[in-house]
Copies of this chain bind each other. A is one copy, B any other.
Amino acid sequence: MKLYSYFRSSASYRVRIALNLKGIPCEYLPVHLVRNGGEQLAPAYREINPDQLVPTLLDDAGAPIPQSLAIIEYLEETHPTPPLLPREPADRAYVRSLALQIASEIHPLNNLRVLKYLTESLGLNEETKSTWYRHWVEVGFSSLEARLASDARTGTFCHGDAPTLADLCLVPQVFNAQRFSIDVNLYPTLARINANALQLEAFAQAAPDRQPDAA
């Protein structure tokens, strides 16, 4: 397999953790989102991923799969060990809903093209952009903290004592939040789970600064 990735992209980061946890060898193909006017906008990459976003996985047949959660579900179905989703449907739904709270409610509002629209198309200043960014992280983290702090299934990780899809989304989002100076300790359960996850080699090796295209 091959993964089009950008070291700082949190959606790419999720997939890198999944590949590491499952021990799947994968060639790293860097797509620099800032240099050269944004390499994801080049016609050659648009052929592979019309959304012009990272990540894109090329499966063993060379077919492109965009969207990090679709990629991770694919890896889960084709390489089931270790599992990234629990066994019972109600628990699977719970884990997926935590992942989607990040992937569909926080991250889409704060990715590069949206922040660019705020400053370049709407003419907002850097401070207003940062306030926007922090607002959506704080709304999302408050809700996640409320769920995780009160749910009996919370353990070392978001669901029990082994990492799941929810942790794969949480750790990159915490990394992003810290770049925008958000104090993650305001969300003690999230901070604790994040610290636990980063103890694992699979998470540590997926970190942005450990990637070949890190600045």
Binding site for B on A (CB under 8 A): 50-53, 59, 61, 63, 65-67, 69-71, 73-74, 77-78, 89-90, 92-94, 96-97, 99-101, 103-105, 107-109, 114, 117, 121-122, 124, 128, 132, 135, 140, 142-144, 146-147
Contact A104 B69, beta carbon cutoff 8 Å: yes
Number of copies of this kind of chain in the complex: 2
Contact A94 B77, beta carbon cutoff 8 Å: no
Contact of A128 among B52, B93, B122 (CB under 8 A): B122
Closest 8 CB pairs of A and B: A70-B96, A74-B93, A70-B97, A108-B108, A67-B100, A67-B97, A50-B143, A50-B146
Contact of A61 among B70, B90, B105, B121 (CB under 8 A): B90
Contact B51 A105, beta carbon cutoff 8 Å: yes
Q: What are 20 residue pairs bridging A and B, where the CB atoms are less than 8 Å apart in the complex?
A: A50-B147, A51-B101, A51-B143, A59-B90, A65-B93, A66-B101, A69-B104, A70-B96, A70-B97, A70-B99, A70-B100, A73-B92, A73-B96, A74-B92, A74-B93, A74-B96, A100-B103, A104-B104, A108-B109, A122-B124
